[in-house]
Amino acid sequence: MISPHGADALDPRIVSKNEDRKALLAEANTLPSIVLNSAAAANAVMLGAGYFTPLKGFMNLADAMSVASDMRTIDGLFWPVPVLNLCESIDTIDGATRIALRDPNVDGNPVLAVMDVTSIEKVSDEQLDAMTAQVFGTMDSSHPGVAVFRSLGRYCIAGDIHVLNFSYFGEEFAGTFKTAGEIRDEISARGWEKVVAFQTRNPMHLAHEELCRMAKDRLHADGIVIHMLLGRLKEGDIPASVRDACIRKMVDVYFPENSVMVNGYGFDMLYAGPREALLHAVFRQNMGATHLIVGRDHAGVGSYYGPFDAQAIFESLPEGALEIEIFAADHTAWSKKLNRVVMMSEAENHAPEDYVFLSGTKVREMLGQGIAPPPEFSRPEVAQILMDYYQLEDRKAAVGE
């Protein structure tokens, strides 16, 4: 099986032994504490689940700046995005060397992790600007990732962490949320060697389904891991529970047995385009995938990135930066001429009117009205789940809920 990134073995920061966890929780209740923001909490969950191997905790400012500018830590580890614990105030932990990190996403803010603090540094305007521009490629506050990143605070708290739980993901998405180690174990149990990962934050329509098939067939892969983001998204995106139901229905009905795994991970979307595509590759390698599908506008938003920027960035990496490979894909759509889904760059003698295209706005309008998109766009079983969701949302809006 493919090796984890930068290590011989995964290093999940979760405290796995029950007695150790109880002892650490008891200690945590005596420690100075802070309530994390959602971005830092998501980083803690990813560290706990082994997806961020070989990192042991949150970066200091020097590493963060080095990663932002050169995609390397000070020690030379390839890493595409700073992994930070930023906060607005350090009043409750000033001078502390060991602190409790509390969960902002669970009622009562229970302890999520214990942190050994190695430094607390103030981030300057110039440093924040540099990291923003280098990671997101823009300073535009309308970019959802930029807006979140610049709102997190100016104190950078660095150090190793010991994670006590996986926040709300384990219970709310039981059966879907999996650690990197759990996915590796299942890949091994299925006897898969070559594994394709598909990243999604949306329900999968017919074109996505066929893209997974294309990648599996062309790479002669043993299986596909459809790996969905379960954390925070921008306003208007479809909730994870609905996406989960859609994807599972599609897999159950339309894929052969033992060809697809459906899992999720606890992270908040960055919408950082090329840099986030690299991060996706890092933690897919850690979970055991040998290939990652990187399609048009991967991890992007709006028009901030070129359609194939997320593929091009992999071509510029130094040799050995990553072991995982990508399956570079163009936009896929139903061809009226060929009567099947095609990769548009491969379809000869096609004009735009030869494809079935529906805008996201049009699809949402249809679903809200109880109208299923055409079968060339979406499987009817998936469309029904989405219609039920949008009609429920419309009813809630009508009564002011």
Which residues are catalytic, by number? 201-202
**Neighbouring-strand partners of residue 162:** 114
Identify the helix (H) or strand (E) that includes residue 140.
Answer: none
State the DSSP code for 347: -
Measured between alpha carbons, how far is 333 from 10 in angstroms, rounded to an integer?
A: 38
Check: CB of residue 173 under 8 Å from CB of residue 230.
yes
Check: CB of residue 197 under 8 Å from CB of residue 292.
yes
- Kindly state the tokens that stand for 35: 């309530």
State the DSSP code for 259: S
Check: CB of residue 356 under 8 Å from CB of residue 374.
yes
Check: CB of residue 291 under 8 Å from CB of residue 67.
no
- Kindly state the tokens that stand for 331: 């936009």
The Cβ of residue 157 has, within 10 Å, a number of other Cβ atoms equal to 26
Closest residue by Cα to residue 166 from 177, 152, 176: 177
- Kindly state the tokens that stand for 57: 């905790």
